[in-house]
Structure 1
């Protein structure tokens, strides 16, 4: 039977680094963020988003521009809820479909930034939560997404506080150190659970 590990944490805490490392070790990863990006290209979703947020969210090629949509939904909780009502059913369906394709694997990872917020923890056997200091998180997010500190804080605050996620975790990986130190924590836990 396949063991599903839920991988989550706060935005810009190093989850992608761990996800890429797991893929490099031939562990299948279902990436909810990637699915969310792909969902924005589905015609039915595009129409619903335009009806809700207006055509100003489109780029010059008439595709959804996440850089235009982001400030709308991260500055207003009600707008974020509207976005989630539209996209989350599509994302969930695709996550389930992809997890099913790995049913012959020993372990598969569900990489989902909003794993708790969307109730995906019910779909996994173990919860791996990634954390780092608040200062490192803000610095990484500002650098990664070219945001000022205020906009970075708004995106962080749109997610469940990391302290709440840590309380629910089976394993907490601290990414404040080097990449090698982070990877060794992941490998040790997987080996201890006979998953690696």
Structure 2
């Protein structure tokens, strides 16, 4: 069975990855958003709720996973986090397979995977695209987020591969330290290039 060319889209926190994912969609490329799938499966009536409640009693309710309660358990305990990932990752992998089946006739698709390098996801994709912006712009954007503190930001960065290393390992880099129009133009140019290369 033929399958589409898979673009792995990644980038550190507040680099503009979600914005770039929307630009790929606007350019006609279907996007699989791993985080959005997890939020759905952990939201009200979500498929993962019974398993999460069984593994971590008291961490779900009618509104879905109680993120703070679950976070308090898993972020301070590596074994608990590993148990949670054992529930979440196979479920996401099934959704990803279904997405590929639905879009089997497309030239290319995007997998939006925040921790693409950190979790070994680069092996799943054909082309890696890293979204990047200057560090001071990243910091400015992230500290505007509700509930974000410099300490939390430092903790998140510590879990992520440094931006310079991501750029070095990328096949293509989209610069979001510029206007939205210029970023969209970079995305469209990349889609055009990959489309031409795949047809050649």
SS in structure 1 of the partner of residue 173 of structure 2: strand
Task: Tell whether the 8 Å contact from 2:11 to 2:114 is kept in structure 1 after alignment.
Answer: yes
1:12 to 4, 11, 14: 14
Superimposed CA distance per residue, residues 42-77 of structure 1 (whole angstroms, 9 cap, x where no aligned partner): 76632333344441x335x25202344345444555
Partner of residue 27, structure 1: 29
Instruction: For 1:74 and 1:143, locate their aligned partners in 2 and report how far apart those are by CA, in whole Å.
Output: 23
Describe how 1:1-196 pairs up with structure 2 within 5 A: 2-41=4-43, 45-55=48-58, 57-59=59-61, 61=62, 63-75=64-76, 77-194=78-195
Instruction: For 2:25 and 2:137, locate their aligned partners in 1 and report how far apart those are by CA, in whole Å.
Output: 25
**CA 1:193–1:26: 2 relative to 1, 3 Å:** closer
Structure 1's unaligned 5+ residue stretches are none
**CA 1:73–1:138: 2 relative to 1, 3 Å:** farther
**CA 1:76–1:167: 2 relative to 1, 3 Å:** farther
**CA 1:195–1:146: 2 relative to 1, 3 Å:** farther
Task: Tell whether the 8 Å contact from 2:38 to 2:92 is kept in structure 1 after alignment.
Answer: yes
Per the normalisation by structure 1, the TM-score is: 0.84
**CA 1:47–1:194: 2 relative to 1, 3 Å:** closer
Superimposed CA distance per residue, residues 141-176 of structure 1 (whole angstroms, 9 cap, x where no aligned partner): 232343112112222322233233222210011211
Structure 2's unaligned 5+ residue stretches are none
- Taking only aligned residues, the RMSD between alpha carbons, in angstroms, comes to 2.5
Per the normalisation by structure 2, the TM-score is: 0.83
Task: Tell me by how many angstroms 1:12 deviates.
Answer: 1.6
**CA 1:86–1:135: 2 relative to 1, 3 Å:** farther
SS in structure 2 of the partner of residue 154 of structure 1: helix
Structure 1 runs (4+) greater than 6 angstroms displaced: none
